[in-house]
Structure 1
Amino acid sequence: MMKCIAVLLLCLASGAAAAAEDPASAARAASDQLEAATVQLQEAESARDRVKALTDTVQAYEAGLGAMRDGLRRVARRETQLIAQLRSREDEVADLLGILQTIETSAPPVLLLHPSGPLGSARSAMMLAEVTPGLQARVEALKRDLKEVQTLRLLQQNAAGTLHTGLAGIQQARAALSTAIADRTDLPRRFTYDPVRTSILISSIETLEGFASGLANIVEGEIAQSSADITAQRGEIALPVQGLVLRGYGAQDAAGISRPGLLIAARPRAMVASPTAATIRYRGPLLDLGNVVILEPQPDMLFVLSGLAEVFGEAGQVIPKGTPVGLMGGVTPEVGAILSLSGEGAGTDRTETLYIEVRLNDSPVDPEIWFRTDKDG
């Protein structure tokens, strides 16, 4: 019997490694982020600088929803792991329960009886005294695992309500942000945009390079001089959207076509912001690139952002760092879709792509010279 107990304990111990991370805490923290963003949205309505307040709110919602997605994935993985462990240990658990029940129900004289006589009985009692705390520890570990499964399932059920509130909040924040930007009149201007000249230029060119080279021809009058210099930020500029780098400078796509820029995978409806203070040189549809925003952070340098669904601001405006310039396309997943994503690998919900090109002295350069491309987005 003692040998059986020892083998049982060894088998149970081998499958009970503690989790390195706490998925439940991560999911709760994400829920707190979304609740804080909801409060932030209410406060943004009366903020003096509504554009900045709403920008911060959208970013807070995006961070909270992203954290919730990641937290639910971890919860699902942990629950699957625990259930698999418990199922693999069903026989051992049954034996454990049987042993404990035998110990509890056996009469004291039987426990003391041993074929080897009093000495064997004493040794048996000593072994039992040593093993019993181990058995109790395994029982407690089993109870903790079962309780954790119950907690994780409850978290997933409660997540639906939190996600619904968060998704409604971010939609409201995006709409309010778009309105606030359209109503903004306090930004300085470096030039007056001429839509007729722009149409003529677009109709006469076939490439992004041709359009970028002719930007000086779409203005009415002169362009005010700028002394902006972002040289000190070289290599440290944050990407204009939260995302993952799909292809780098000069990398070929599936069709074997290479482009001199970065392709970033982003989530649907993600906000795109100016990575530095810059002048909006152009914004709108261009060729087959979709909506494009061209920013001038310093003389003779352009940041070209293409693939947006919506664009904000007006050509000629000088905007501060972090100012929203547009939104990615796609449809924000509903609550059920987000919950179903909880078991999938990271990055599966980044369905939109933003193309970033950096042009210096009218020639493309590797954006990673200037941008900090964190691979985990």
Structure 2
Amino acid sequence: MARRAAGQLEAAQNALAAAEQASDRVRALTMTIRAYENGLIALREGLRRAAIREEVLRKRFEAKREEVMRLLGVLQSIETSPAPLLLLHPAGPTGTARSGMIASQVTPALQREAETLRKDLEEIATLRALQESAAQTLQDGLAGVQQARTALSQAISNRVDLPKRLLADPDALTRLIDSAETLEAFASGLTDMEDAGAPLPDFDPDRGNLPLPVAGTVLHRAGEADAAGIARPGIVVATRPRALVTTPWPATIRYRGPLLDYGNVMILEPGGGYLLVLAGLEEVYGELGEVLPAGAPVGLMGGEAPQGAAFPDAGADGAGANRTETLYIEAREGDKPINPAQWFAID
């Protein structure tokens, strides 16, 4: 698995080079960042499994160390005994015959045990070499994804070709921001605002197979209370630092920027009176009214990405290690929240 992930990172590096020449650099860089993120996640998981397997083998070897030492001591004492004495037994010829039969049965078992230990030691050496060789791959991957993120930010700032749907009353948004005391109140007020522009593609809210906007693990489903005992109508997804957030469906940017205590918020309208609220981003991309295609980047999560040297060790802590950022995802129909699980493929 780790070797396959290393191949994914190499392919992402090639994609980054190709993206420099792509006509649609935003799309190319978005795909490149996704490739890097998937490759790094897979490599991290591969290293985690390798570390666990190595620990299992080491514990098994340590558990048998004393037994092996005793057997070696017996064998060494036999080797140092005079040959004539080895052929005699105190019980006479019958005892000598029986001891010979026992020795003939024990010897193959000892050989099998020795072969098992040899294979375990070889596997430990292979796993250790794999983890050491992955360090540079990780370092290159982390540097590559950071380079791609920087290039993406620049490409988005240079983008001028997206269509826009503008609010009929732009000042109404400012008044709503100043007056709204909750996310629900803000989203409800935003739904009532009229805009002008070309209609979006028909949105089917019951698809159930849209990709999540960010790679991560669902911490809380809709209606589940968090550690503070607060239940929200949306879902909370734990992500790794600087993870890329994208829109799962063609959508208009209805709001982007800081809101209340949610950090940076992106509110997208996929059409049909529905809204998708993404809260907790560090950076947000795009301008108000822009119509984004599916899979377009809308921002980055916060936090500090791990350094290459610390990355392999953290992988041994578990598959959820280093998912320190959280993205809140809420779906709304009109002025009412609905369960996002009916939109997204949540495993």
Aligned to 2:196: 222
Structure 1: how far apart are the matches of 2:93 and 2:342? 82
Q: Give, as a single letter, the amino acid of the residue that structure 2 aligns with 1:141.
A: T
CA separation of 1:357 and 1:118: change in aligned 2, threshold 3 A: same
Aligned to 2:225: 252
Structure 2: how far apart are the matches of 1:369 and 1:228? 16
Structure 2: how far apart are the matches of 1:170 and 1:261? 29
Kept in 2, the 8 Å contact 1:300–1:362? The answer is no
Deviation track 1:161-191 (CA, whole Å, cap 9, x = no partner) reads 2221111111001111122223233333333
Superposed, 1:17-28 pairs within 5 Å as: 26-28=1-3
Aligned to 1:362: 335
Aligned to 2:87: 112
Q: Which runs of 5+ in 2 are unaligned?
A: none
Normalising by structure 1, we get a TM-score of 0.83
Q: Work out which of the residue numbers 112, 115, 122 in structure 2 matches 1:137.
A: 112
Aligned to 1:163: 138
Q: Give the share of equivalent positions with the same residue, in percent.
A: 55
Q: Work out which of the residue numbers 327, 332, 339 in structure 1 matches 2:300.
A: 327
Q: Which runs of 5+ in 1 are unaligned?
A: 1-25
Q: Give, as a single letter, the amino acid of the residue that structure 2 aligns with 1:50.
A: R
Question: Is 2:265 the partner of 1:310?
Answer: no
Q: Give, as a single letter, the amino acid of the residue that structure 2 aligns with 1:328.
A: M
Of 75-84 and 223-232, the range deviating more from structure 2 = 223-232
Structure 2: how far apart are the matches of 1:194 and 1:172? 39
Q: Give, as a single letter, the amino acid of the residue that structure 1 aligns with 2:329.
A: I
Structure 2: how far apart are the matches of 1:240 and 1:336? 29
1:48 deviates by: 3.2
Of 152-161 and 255-264, the range deviating more from structure 2 = 152-161
Figure out how many residues of one structure are paired with residues of the other and give that number: 347
Structure 2: how far apart are the matches of 1:113 and 1:271? 78
Aligned to 1:78: 53
CA separation of 1:59 and 1:333: change in aligned 2, threshold 3 A: same
Superposed, 1:172-191 pairs within 5 Å as: 172-191=147-166
Structure 1: how far apart are the matches of 2:200 and 2:295? 19
Deviation track 1:295-345 (CA, whole Å, cap 9, x = no partner) reads 112211111001001111222222222111111001101123323313313
**Equivalent position SS for 1:164:** helix
CA separation of 1:115 and 1:67: change in aligned 2, threshold 3 A: same
Q: Give, as a single letter, the amino acid of the residue that structure 1 aligns with 2:16.
A: L
Normalising by structure 2, we get a TM-score of 0.90
Aligned to 1:6: none
Q: Work out which of the residue numbers 105, 128, 132 in structure 2 matches 1:153.
A: 128
**Equivalent position SS for 2:310:** helix
Question: Is 2:254 the partner of 1:274?
Answer: no
